[in-house]
Chains A and B, each alone.
Chain A
Amino acid sequence: MDYEFHWNVVFQNMPQLLNGAFVTLHVSVLAMLLGVVIAILLAIAKMNNTKFFSQVATVWVEIARNTPALFQIYMAYFGLGAFGIHLSPYLAVLSALVFINAGYLTETFRGGFQSIPSTQYSASKSLGMTSIQSYRYIILPQMLRRIYHPMTNQFVWSILMSSLGILVGMSELSGTTQRLQSLSFRTLEFFIVAAVMYFIITKLVLFGSSLLARRLFKGEI
């Protein structure tokens, strides 16, 4: 091993790297929030008796779960571009991540919902609660507990997947790293620092979510 590390150039470009890291966090938080909202609607649609709704949801889930993330991002960027819809790299990656998050989380929500025994519903009804009260106070809080960890996993996954933004020229952490290393030829240094930054971002997200869980669920998970 006679590779000589040169870290100076990396530290000089730290502001740009941090900016990239911020974009990474930004796009994944947004993708998660929108994904959750759409997944709730898709999960309801999937359990709905109306065939049209449940089929739309099924098609969405199947495509999202069984095709590569790379393919989704290319579809959003180049695919839609072919039809004259030109999304910015940011929007293309965002919509692809929302699409995948929604697909995966739909199944998480549906599973969580079905894992609550129906007797919990009968018990709350027997106390005189309306259906809405039963869901609001009994079913949903228990479901949220069960899907909380799968949800944080999905969040971490979408932070890491946003690195595919590099392929459509997005200036998130990976894209920024790629650009800076090609200017300086300090490939290894830049990518090591980027990896550490990804690690810190995901650890921070996990730490924050377990703090939140402790507040929400009072030592129950």
Chain B
Amino acid sequence: MISVQNVHKSFGDLEVLKGVSLDVKKGEVVSVIGGSGSGKSTLLYCINAIEPINKGKILVDDVDVHAKGTNKDKLRQKLGMVFQQWNSFPHMTVLENAALAPRIVKKMSKEEAIEIAKKELEHVGLGDKFDVYPTKMSGGQQQRLAIARALAMKPDYMLLDEVTSALDPELVGEVLDTLRLLAEEGMTMICVTHEMGFARDVSDRVAYFHQGVIAEIGEARQVITDPQNPLTQKFLSKVR
């Protein structure tokens, strides 16, 4: 379980998270929606310990992420992360991208790492791209590579940071289909997203972020189709 408890986070004078609490159970898919600058992505960076927090606590399987003695590199093996700008490693082939971390972080044998990488690449529909360099692929393919690369580490959780926002519209579908597949397989996910249809259909719960706090959280279909908070109503009427 991921447990976010009253987290505050500032960049200089700007307080981005103003007391956020959120529990995500194993097997649950939670979508986080909200305007830009509302702190959605920052929350993911804080869960993954890429950004430190100023106040509060984040527990991943009862381990305090930001405590002094926590081995963050080890903890991140449990937390797969996919970024808005996919961040594929341009100097490696698709297969090398996916096999690198299992090989050097989990210290698998080369054969084992390649086997697991191939399996995850086939999983996301890149079975015919093993020896291609990522820069030769479309954004949608690179984003699916990023998903496979994270999955090859066998994470318990996936953190997805606006993974379709930088894609051309016709490429959004293939990435969302991949995420749908993961959700059906029972992967625990926190998705920061602007895809309201995806949030409604795939996630169990939806949280609406407004100015650094969760303004509304509830069952996915209910929050998207029948929001209770006037702020959520206003936001949803604008994005539709």
Return the CB mask of A127-138 against B: 1 if under 8 Å, else 0: 111100100011
User: How close is A76's CB to chain B, nearest CB, in angstroms?
Assistant: 39
Q: Is B48 an interface residue (CB 8 A)?
A: yes
User: How close is B137's CB to chain A, nearest CB, in angstroms?
Assistant: 15
Judging by beta carbons under 8 Å apart, are B85 and A128 in contact? no
A120–B87 CA distance with the chains assembled, in angstroms: 6
Q: Is B181 an interface residue (CB 8 A)?
A: no
A142 with B87: in contact, given A127-B76, A128-B73, A220-B133 (CB under 8 Å)? no
Judging by beta carbons under 8 Å apart, are A133 and B90 in contact? no
Q: Is A126 an interface residue (CB 8 A)?
A: yes
**Chain A residues, Cβ within 8 Å of B91:** 141-142, 145, 217, 220
Return the CB mask of B28-49 against A: 1 if under 8 Å, else 0: 0000000000000000000010
Q: Which of A117, A122, A141, A145 lies at the interface centre, i.e. has the most chain B CB atoms within 10 A of its CB? A: A122
Interface residues of A in 185-221 (CB under 8 A from B): 217, 220
**Chain B residues, Cβ within 8 Å of A117:** 87
Q: Is B116 an interface residue (CB 8 A)?
A: no
A28–B105 CA distance with the chains assembled, in angstroms: 41
User: How close is B189's CB to chain A, nearest CB, in angstroms?
Assistant: 15
Q: Is A125 an interface residue (CB 8 A)?
A: yes
Our pick among A119, A129, A141, A145 for the contact of B87 (Cβ within 8 Å) is A119
For B88, the closest partner residue in chain A by CB is A123
Q: Which of A119, A123, A138 lies at the interface centre, i.e. has the most chain B CB atoms within 10 A of its CB? A: A123
A126 with B104: in contact, given A217-B91, A220-B133 (CB under 8 Å)? no
**Chain B residues, Cβ within 8 Å of A127:** 76-77, 100-101, 105, 149-150, 153
Q: Is B50 an interface residue (CB 8 A)?
A: yes
User: How close is A125's CB to chain B, nearest CB, in angstroms?
Assistant: 6
Q: Which of A128, A133, A137, A145 lies at the interface centre, i.e. has the most chain B CB atoms within 10 A of its CB? A: A128
User: How close is B162's CB to chain A, nearest CB, in angstroms?
Assistant: 13
Q: Is B58 an interface residue (CB 8 A)?
A: no
Q: Is B83 an interface residue (CB 8 A)?
A: yes
Q: Number of B residues contacting the other chain (C-beta, 8 Å)?
A: 25
Q: Is B89 an interface residue (CB 8 A)?
A: yes
User: How close is B74's CB to chain A, nearest CB, in angstroms?
Assistant: 7
A123 with B87: in contact, given A128-B105, A129-B73, A130-B73 (CB under 8 Å)? yes
A142–B100 CA distance with the chains assembled, in angstroms: 15
For A131, the closest partner residue in chain B by CB is B73
**Chain A residues, Cβ within 8 Å of B48:** 126
**Chain A residues, Cβ within 8 Å of B81:** 123, 126
Return the CB mask of B51-75 against A: 1 if under 8 Å, else 0: 0000000000000000000000110
User: How close is B20's CB to chain A, nearest CB, in angstroms?
Assistant: 20
For A120, the closest partner residue in chain B by CB is B87
A188–B104 CA distance with the chains assembled, in angstroms: 61
A119–B101 CA distance with the chains assembled, in angstroms: 16
Interface residues of A in 99-147 (CB under 8 A from B): 117, 119-120, 122-130, 133, 137-138, 141-142, 145
Judging by beta carbons under 8 Å apart, are B153 and A138 in contact? no
User: How close is B110's CB to chain A, nearest CB, in angstroms?
Assistant: 14
Judging by beta carbons under 8 Å apart, are A126 and B50 in contact? yes
Taking beta carbons and an 8 Å cutoff, which residues of B are in contact with A?
A: 48, 50, 73-74, 76-77, 79-81, 83, 85, 87, 89-91, 100-101, 104-106, 133, 146, 149-150, 153
Taking beta carbons and an 8 Å cutoff, which residues of A are in contact with B?
A: 117, 119-120, 122-130, 133, 137-138, 141-142, 145, 217, 220
Q: Besides A123-B81, A129-B104, 10 other CB < 8 A contacts?
A: A120-B87, A123-B146, A124-B89, A126-B50, A127-B100, A127-B150, A137-B100, A142-B91, A220-B91, A220-B133
19 A–B pairs (Cβ distance < 8 Å), ordered by A: A119-B85, A119-B87, A123-B81, A123-B87, A126-B76, A126-B80, A127-B149, A127-B153, A128-B73, A128-B101, A128-B105, A129-B101, A129-B105, A130-B73, A133-B104, A133-B105, A137-B104, A142-B90, A220-B133
